[in-house]
Structure 1
Amino acid sequence: MSETKIALVTGANKGIGYEIATGLGTRGYRVGVGARDEVRRESAVEKLRTAGVDAFGVPLDVTADLSVTEAAELVERQAGRLDVLVNNAGISGPPTGQGWAQDPTALDLDVVRTVVETNVIGVIRVTNAMLPLLRRSTSPRIVNVSSSVASLTRQADPDIEIGPVMAAYSPSKSFLNAVTVQYARQLADTNILVNAACPGLVATDFTGFQGPRTPEQGAATAIRLATLPDGGPTGSFFEDDGVIPW
Structure 2
Amino acid sequence: MKSVLITGANRSIGLETAKQLSEKGLFVYLGSRSLENGKAVVKELNENGFQNIKAIQIDVTNPDSVLEAKNTIEKEQGKLDILINNAGILGVNPQPASDTAIENIQEIFETNFFGVIRVTQQFLELLKKSDSPIISNITSGLASLTLHSDPDWKYYAVKTAGYGTSKAALNAYTIALAHELKDTFRVNVIDPGYTATDFNHHSGPGTIASAATFIIKHTLTDENGPTGKFFSNDIEDESGISPW
Bin for the TM-score computed over the shorter chain:
over 0.9
Whether the 8 Å contact between 1:48 and 1:54 is mirrored in structure 2 is no
The residue identity in structure 1 corresponding to 2:163 is: Y
Deviation at 1:48, TM superposition (A): 2.7
Residue 187 of structure 1 is matched in structure 2 by: 181
Residue 117 of structure 1 is matched in structure 2 by: 110
For residues 39 and 136 of structure 1, the distance between their equivalents in structure 2, rounded to whole angstroms, comes to 30
Residue 151 of structure 2 is matched in structure 1 by: 158
Residues 155-183 of structure 1: CA deviation (Å, up to 9, x unaligned): 01001111522111001000000011111
What SS does the aligned partner of 1:63 have? Answer: coil
Gaps of 5+ in 2: none
Pair 1:47 & 2:48 matched: no
1:173-212 correspondence to structure 2 within 5 Å: 173-190=167-184, 192-212=185-205
Pair 1:86 & 2:84 matched: yes
For residues 22 and 205 of structure 1, the distance between their equivalents in structure 2, rounded to whole angstroms, comes to 18
The residue identity in structure 2 corresponding to 1:245 is: P
Deviation at 1:36, TM superposition (A): 0.5
Equivalent of 2:131 in 112, 135, 138: 138
For residues 156 and 173 of structure 1, the distance between their equivalents in structure 2, rounded to whole angstroms, comes to 16
For residues 45 and 173 of structure 2, the distance between their equivalents in structure 1, rounded to whole angstroms, comes to 31
What SS does the aligned partner of 2:210 have? Answer: helix
For residues 195 and 46 of structure 2, the distance between their equivalents in structure 1, rounded to whole angstroms, comes to 25
Instruction: Using the TM superposition, name which of 46-55 and 77-86 deviates more.
Output: 46-55
Question: How many residue pairs get matched?
Answer: 237
Deviation at 1:211, TM superposition (A): 1.1
What SS does the aligned partner of 2:213 have? Answer: helix
Moved over 2 A (4+): 47-53
For residues 103 and 174 of structure 1, the distance between their equivalents in structure 2, rounded to whole angstroms, comes to 16
Q: What is the root-mean-square deviation of aligned Cα atoms in Å? A: 1.1
Q: What is the TM-score of this pair, normalised by structure 2? A: 0.94
Deviation at 1:27, TM superposition (A): 0.5
Residue 129 of structure 1 is matched in structure 2 by: 122
Residue 64 of structure 2 is matched in structure 1 by: 66
What SS does the aligned partner of 1:226 have? Answer: coil
Q: Percent identity?
A: 40
Deviation at 1:139, TM superposition (A): 1.1
Whether the 8 Å contact between 1:91 and 1:119 is mirrored in structure 2 is yes
Residue 244 of structure 1 is matched in structure 2 by: 242
Q: What is the TM-score of this pair, normalised by structure 1? A: 0.93
Gaps of 5+ in 1: 96-100
What SS does the aligned partner of 1:209 have? Answer: coil
Residues 105-146 of structure 1: CA deviation (Å, up to 9, x unaligned): 120000111111100100010011111111111111100000
For residues 152 and 53 of structure 1, the distance between their equivalents in structure 2, rounded to whole angstroms, comes to 40
What SS does the aligned partner of 1:105 have? Answer: coil
Deviation at 1:233, TM superposition (A): 0.2
Residue 75 of structure 1 is matched in structure 2 by: 73
Residue 98 of structure 1 is matched in structure 2 by: none
Deviation at 1:221, TM superposition (A): 2.1
